Structure 1
Amino acid sequence: RKHPEQPLVSINTKNILFIVGGAFESIQTIIAKRLKKTVMGFGGSEDQVISADDKNLVRFVQPQDLLAFGLIPELVGRIPVVAHLEELTPEAMRAILLQPKNAIIKQYQKLFELEGVELVFEEAAIDAIIEKTSQANTGARALRATLETIMLDIMYDLPAQENVKTCTISAAVVLGEAHPVLKYRKSSA
């Protein structure tokens, strides 16, 4: 309910599948503390050093780690399976940018097509977008934000240009070091 005086609405969640996802920044520290407790003793050895900096620690996430992270027991108790996802590789980011039917780059190309302009991304530009996005460390959502930043001025300026045939985005454009290369149609005089 949005307002305290509104009546409560009961929802039967028996046949609803809840999928919870997110980036639990620094949960590795909690997992490392729990795992350090288990390697001590007869089964443990000194060469089993566990570091909270190890990004692979999320493989060992358990519900008690989510509780220690700060999630309430009522929520954690309703999550029957806890799993982790691997970080996106550059190849996966490239696939996200280019392969789906509604891929973000295809969306921009369609927008430019509506203006009669062919939008071209050089391979080096795509690599630069992936690198820039990887530095943000926020996953695939940052791909759109990176492209929005790159394309904002271009999309604003394009309608004022006449007879533009193609707009080519290079790595230098992605890095903010150059403007896109515009090729114009031959005007009939």
Structure 2
Amino acid sequence: MPRSRCVWAICPLTVLQRQTHTTALDGIAWDKHRSDRSCFSIGLSHPCPLGCGPRSPKYRGGPTLNQRRLARTPPERHARGVAPPTHPPTPSAPSIKDRLDERVVGQDEAKIQLAQLIAMHLNWCHKPLDALLPPNGLLIGPTGVGKTHTIRTACALLDLPFVVADATSLVPSGIVGEQIEDILERLVESARQLRLSRGEPVDLDVPIDRADLDLARTGVIFIDEFDKLASSEAAGYEEPIRLTVQRRLLKLIEGSLLRVGVKRHGTDHPDHYINTMGILIIGSGAFTGIDTPAIRSRRAPNMLADLVDPLEVVSTDLVQYGFIPELIARMPVLIQYRPLEKQDFVEILKGEFSPIRLWQRYCAAFDMDFADPEPAVLQLIAEQAVRLNMGARGLQQLLFQRLPAEIFEFERSGQKTYHLTAERWRRPRRSRSQG
């Protein structure tokens, strides 16, 4: 019969009798010779039958000194001569990649590089070294391949402050629009919201405190549409603005003290300064046309021999694309995303974040059932998505071209279960002229 500790920690019976024997008393098993001098009972709800409670004069007042020491000591350190296991202070790149595999389909090479970049950033934040800063990076790939989804998912899984900035809205100082300091303020606000979600004590009367700034320094700034900052002759009057924004980004990336102030309730609060050194900056864009001969013809003659993949984008291509060399040199990690293939679309449609789940939730709200589509339908949708060449966003377009009329007629008919079959998907859509 399993034994568990009695509610009263010390029983005088074990002190008076040193012989080892077990006696059954009122359904309670007793061990008379325990080194911790405690009685054992079948259930913790049983009081000690000898009256060893706090109201009894026999009560000795709780556990022994050794018991208290053992309670404070981790189990792995109880054995003599066994050192406690050492755990890395930050997650490793393989662990980050494994967690991304659960939510992001495909793009294995890109996920490995991004996981290593984030792991190196977190390791630097744990032990900062001003003389050796972690690198920043660029995500390069066509639309809809998962660039934003990957970095957003990684930051959510790792509880990192995260903010998305649109490069097309960035302007130099003195012009109406979003500036670099505005991005930092949103990053600090993201850090505060993260602290609130963790249950940390936060003084809501103070817009910014030191804990917000310290946590924001471990965060990630994601600049979407980064390729739109490239200067070119076609940019016209916008070219000087783009070059100025690129130089302003240098101040953010290379590490500077920038002022962040929050205005709330119509009152100006004191400004604070945040050191941007160590904040992970990641740009993202499609960089359309960067693989054209006009761009790659400027490469050195022997550069192709040093590349694993001749189609790989290098820093020289980005400079020819319209970026200043100083900015590209500070974003040396170039992570390329490949176009999605047919099997990738099939996995997305079967996954947790499939756009089909949106239709299933809609039907469930009206007591209808949208059955899981058969595999043949998923293959047809994936083939059309490849031809559409819009990435994962193209799946929503394909579904909304077909399903609204189908679901509308299904709701009107009063049926309870809708089946999306290959025959229905191949059925020609009714044109608008047909009403």
TM-score (norm 2): 0.32
The amino acid of 1:109's aligned partner reads Q
Q: Work out which of the residue numbers 318, 322, 336 in structure 2 matches 1:70.
A: 322
Give the equivalent residue in structure 2 for 1:24: 287
Q: How far, CA to CA, are the matches of 2:327 and 2:409 in structure 1?
A: 48
- Are 1:4 and 2:151 matched, yes or no? no
Cα distance change, pair 67–8 in 1 and its aligned pair in 2 (3 A): closer
Give unmatched runs, 5+ long, in structure 2. 1-169, 185-273, 431-435
CA drift of 1:178 comes to 6.3
Contact kept, 8 Å, 1:97 with 1:103, in 2: the verdict is yes
Q: Work out which of the residue numbers 341, 344, 348 in structure 2 matches 1:89.
A: 341
Q: How far, CA to CA, are the matches of 1:64 and 1:148 in structure 2?
A: 42
Contact kept, 8 Å, 1:129 with 1:143, in 2: the verdict is yes
Contact kept, 8 Å, 1:119 with 1:166, in 2: the verdict is yes
Q: How far, CA to CA, are the matches of 1:150 and 1:157 in structure 2?
A: 12
Q: How far, CA to CA, are the matches of 2:429 and 2:180 in structure 1?
A: 56
Q: What does residue range 3-152 of structure 1 map to in structure 2 within 5 Å?
A: 4=175, 10=181, 11=184, 12=274, 13-30=276-293, 32-34=296-298, 37-38=301-302, 57-58=310-311, 60-71=312-323, 73=325, 75-100=327-352, 102-120=353-371, 121-152=373-404
Cα distance change, pair 35–71 in 1 and its aligned pair in 2 (3 A): closer
Give the equivalent residue in structure 2 for 1:51: none
Once superposed, what is the RMSD of the aligned Cα atoms?
Answer: 3.5
Give unmatched runs, 5+ long, in structure 1. 44-55, 180-189
- Greater percentage in strand: 2
Q: Work out which of the residue numbers 149, 160, 163 in structure 1 matches 2:412.
A: 160
Cα distance change, pair 83–108 in 1 and its aligned pair in 2 (3 A): same
CA drift of 1:158 comes to 3.8
Give the equivalent residue in structure 2 for 1:169: 420
Asked which structure has the greater CA Rg, the reply is 2
Contact kept, 8 Å, 2:298 with 2:320, in 1: the verdict is no
- Using the aligned pairs only, state the percent identity: 25
Q: How far, CA to CA, are the matches of 1:90 and 1:38 in structure 2?
A: 36
Contact kept, 8 Å, 1:32 with 1:57, in 2: the verdict is no
- Give CA deviations for 1:126-166 in whole Å, capped at 9, x if unaligned: 1111111101212222122222222222344443332x122
**What's the secondary structure of 2:404's corresponding residue?**
helix
The amino acid of 2:411's aligned partner reads P
CA drift of 1:6 comes to 8.2
Q: How far, CA to CA, are the matches of 2:404 and 2:286 in structure 1?
A: 28
CA drift of 1:70 comes to 3.3
The amino acid of 1:171's aligned partner reads A
